[in-house]
Amino acid sequence: MLLLVFVFVRFSLASSVGQTEPAVDSWYVAAVYEHNVILNPEPRVPLSRLAALRHMQRNLDIYEEQDAQILVFPEDGLQGFNFSRSSISGYLETIPDPQQESWNPCTEPGEHNNTEVQDHI
């Protein structure tokens, strides 16, 4: 199944970064995209972090072929499904509690372990 919807997003950089002077408007292409996810053939068998990253990268490569700066994909669109509690562990990433700290994986990629995919996307 292929679902592809492009949305053009326009906003003023001045309002997004708190500038008081007008800035040049920027355009972004956003897409909602779904493809037949490359699944782990043995989702109940635990993978190492490296093997899980390699698996997710195969799906990320497909998403990156879309010409969009903002991309929305299905919940299980990176890793697939049918995992057990133990077999999903290699795929999990750190998400800090926003009540405890302010963290941005794009600007502080080394702050937490296991955030490679957040940093990448």
Distance CA 91, CA 39 (A): 13
pLDDT digits (tens, 9 = 90+) for 30-87: 888 888 999 999 999 999 999 999 999 999 999 888 888 888 888 899 899 999 999 9
Q: Which residues pair with 32 in a beta bridge?
A: 5, 72
Distance CA 56, CA 93 (A): 12
**Residues 34 and 71: beta-carbon distance below 8 Å:** no
What global pTM score does this model have? 0.73
Give residue limits of the domains in the chain: 3-94
pLDDT digits (tens, 9 = 90+) for 98-119: 999 999 888 998 898 888 888 8
Residue 47 has which token pair? Answer: 């993978």
